[in-house]
Every structure is written in structure tokens, then in C-alpha cells.
Amino acid sequence: MIARGVVFAILSIGVVAVSWRSFQNRRSHGFYRFFAFESILVLLVLNIDRWFSDPFSVAHIASWLLLLLSLVPAFDGFYLLIMAGKPSGQCDGSPNYGFENTTRLVTRRSYRFIRHPLYCSLLLLAWGIFLKDITLWTGIAVLAASVSLYATAKMEEKENVARFGEEYVQYMSRTKIFIPYLF
């Protein structure tokens, strides 16, 4: 148990270091994303012993499917933000990562169906890790991650409406937040 706490503390230092600028602005999506990252980290630490146990159970097969599926929106989302979004890089005073400061609204491929492929990826990752060992504590952690990702997405949408205006409002009306055709 102590080893898990040490691993969690060390990895949390990394998450805090990466998210530090977001703490300066509670109205930025990065503030809420920090809590999603931490919740996913809790899931990972809680389930580390169970990662490869009982590999052919239904829960583990579903887990691996979700974990593998989480790679698709992650790679596509990053690629499109960088290539089609034409990021302006790090802006002074902005808590965003450089690739987030896009100058163009991306609406193709995965962004054609969902507004937040990167958060979809994190959601799939969290639920995939959760399925490794379903307990009360991992249930609380996966729900915390899910709620944090939803709050992150909603806050980012406010930022994007401010940045892209009516174009983003129209985009929101024809896409789902995380899951194509559903949610």
C-alpha cells in the first residue's frame, strides 16, 4: 500500500507540473482537466496489480478493447489539431498547451462527429482501466474522471465559442460531445 502511495505521489507531481498554469484560472478547461488526469491516475494506481490477472475474463477483454479503442481518437485528435488547426503556439498568459491554441476550427474526420476526441480518448481510457478491477473505490474514481472530463469539455466549449463565435455554435449543433450519434 505504501508503494502505491509513493507511485501516486511521484506521478501526481508530474501531473501538477504539466497542469500548473491551469490553476491560475479556474475558468479554464485545464483546471478541470487536472482533476480528470488525477482521477485516471488514481484508477491506474488502484488497479495496477490487476492489469494482467484473469486476462480472458469478459471484464478484461472489454477493458482491453476500450484501452485500444482509446488510441484512435487520441492519435487522430492530436494529428488534426496540429495539422488542420494551425496552432499559434503558447500564448502569453494562456494556461493552454501550445497545440490547443488553434487558429482554425477543426471539423473533419473524428471532429466531424464529436467535438472532443481527446477527452473521448481519456474517457475510454478511464473506463478501460476501471474494468480491470471493479470496486467501490475504482467506481468512485471513474465517475470522478467522467464528471471532470464533462466539466472540462463544457468549459472548453465556452472558450471555443469566444474564440470562433457563431461558427463554433453551428458546429456544436451538428456534433455530439464525446460519442458519435449518442452523447
Looking at the domain assignment, is residue 182 inside a domain?
no
Residue range(s) defining the domain that contains residue 34: 2-174
Residues 47/36, Cβ–Cβ less than 8 Å: no
Looking at the domain assignment, is residue 40 inside a domain?
yes
Looking at the domain assignment, is residue 179 inside a domain?
no
What is the total count of domains within the chain? Answer: 1
Looking at the domain assignment, is residue 110 inside a domain?
yes
Q: What are phi and psi of 55, to 5 degrees?
A: -65, -20
Residues 105-140: tens digit of each pLDDT? 999 999 999 999 999 999 999 999 999 999 999 999
Looking at the domain assignment, is residue 183 inside a domain?
no
Calpha distance 53→51 (Å, rounded)? 6
Calpha distance 36→45 (Å, rounded)? 14
Spatial neighbors of 128 by CB under 8 A, at least 6 apart, are: 62, 63, 64, 65, 66, 67, 69, 70
Looking at the domain assignment, is residue 181 inside a domain?
no
pTM: 0.90
Looking at the domain assignment, is residue 79 inside a domain?
yes
Please compute the mean of the pLDDT values over residues 166-171 and round it to a whole number: 96
Torsion region of 86: left, alpha or beta (phi above 0 gives left; psi -120 to 50 gives alpha): left
Residues 55-78: tens digit of each pLDDT? 899 999 999 999 999 999 999 999
